[in-house]
Amino acid sequence: MLGKMVKVLMACSVESEAAIEQALRNHAAGLAFHRIYRINDLHRTLAEGDWGLVFCDLEMSDFTALDLVTLLFDEGIDVPVILINGTGAKAISIRCLEFGICQFIERDEQYLQALPLMVDILLRRAGQDEDRRLMVTRLRESEERYVDIFDNTNDLIQSLAPDGRFVYTNRTWRETMGYSEEEAQSLSLLDVLHPDSVMCCQDRFQRLLEGETLSCITFKFVAKSGETIHLLGDCGSIVKNGGATSTRGIFKNVTDTVRAQVALTITEARYQALYENAPDIFSTINAAGEILSINNAGARMLGYEVAELIGESAAKVIHPEDQQAVFACIGQRFGNPAAECDIEYRKIRKDGSILWVHQRATLETGVEEPRLLIVCRDVTDRHILEAQLAYQASHDALTSLINRREFERRMQRLLSGQANQTDRHALCILDLDKFKIINDSCGHMAGDELLIQIATLLEGQVRARDTLARLGGDEFAILMEHVSLEKAAILAEKLRSTIEKFQFRWHSQIFSISVSIGVVSIQHGESIADTLNRADMACYGAKKEGRNRIRS
Reported as a single tens digit per residue, the pLDDT across 3-28 is 578 888 898 988 888 888 888 887 76
pLDDT at 244 > cutoff 60 = yes
Q: Among 91-95, 306-310, 399-403, whose mean pLDDT is lowest?
A: 91-95
Q: Among 59-73, 127-141, 257-271, 309-323, whose mean pLDDT is lowest?
A: 127-141
Greatest CA separation for the chain: 139
Integer distance in angstroms from the first to the last C-alpha of the chain? 98
pLDDT at 420: 59
pLDDT in tens, 480-521: 999 999 999 999 999 999 999 999 999 888 898 999 999 999
pLDDT at 143: 43
pLDDT at 147: 38
pLDDT at 136: 57
pLDDT at 276: 66
pLDDT at 39 > cutoff 90 = no
pLDDT band, very low/low/confident/very high, at 417 (cuts 50, 70, 90): low
pLDDT at 494: 94
pLDDT band, very low/low/confident/very high, at 275 (cuts 50, 70, 90): low
pLDDT at 134: 75
pLDDT at 274: 67
Beta bridge pairs of residue 521 = 426
Higher pLDDT among residues 426 and 276, named by residue: 426
pLDDT at 418 > cutoff 60 = no
pLDDT at 318: 93
pLDDT at 111 > cutoff 90 = no
**What domains appear along the chain, each with residue ranges and CATH number?**
6-138 (3.40.50.2300), 148-258 (3.30.450.20), 279-383 (3.30.450.20), 395-551 (3.30.70.270)
Q: Using CB atoms within 10 A of its CB, is residue 10 exposed (0-12), middle (13-18) or buried (19+)?
A: buried
pLDDT at 148 > cutoff 70 = no
**How far apart, in Å, are the Cα atoms of 232 and each of 156, 214, 218, 249, 255?**
10, 11, 5, 10, 9
pLDDT at 61: 86
Q: How would you write 274-336 as a 3-class SS string?
A: HHHHCCCEEEEEECCCEEEEECHHHHHHCCCCHHHHCCCEHHHHECHHHHHHHHHHHHHHHHC
Tell me the C-alpha distance between 88 and 94, whole Å. Answer: 12
Q: Among 112-116, 271-275, 545-549, whose mean pLDDT is lowest?
A: 271-275
Q: Answer whether 385's CB lies under 8 Å from 396's CB.
A: no
Spell out the residues 6+ positions from residue 78 whose beta carbon is closer than 8 angstroms to its own: 72, 126, 129
Average pLDDT, stretch 241-249? 78
Which SS3 state, helix, strand or coil, does residue 367 take?
Answer: coil
pLDDT at 26: 77
pTM over 0.75: no
pLDDT at 97 > cutoff 90 = no
pLDDT at 1: 47
Most confident range, picked from 32-46, 132-146, 239-253: 32-46
pLDDT in tens, 307-327: 999 999 999 999 999 999 999
pLDDT, the chain, mean: 86
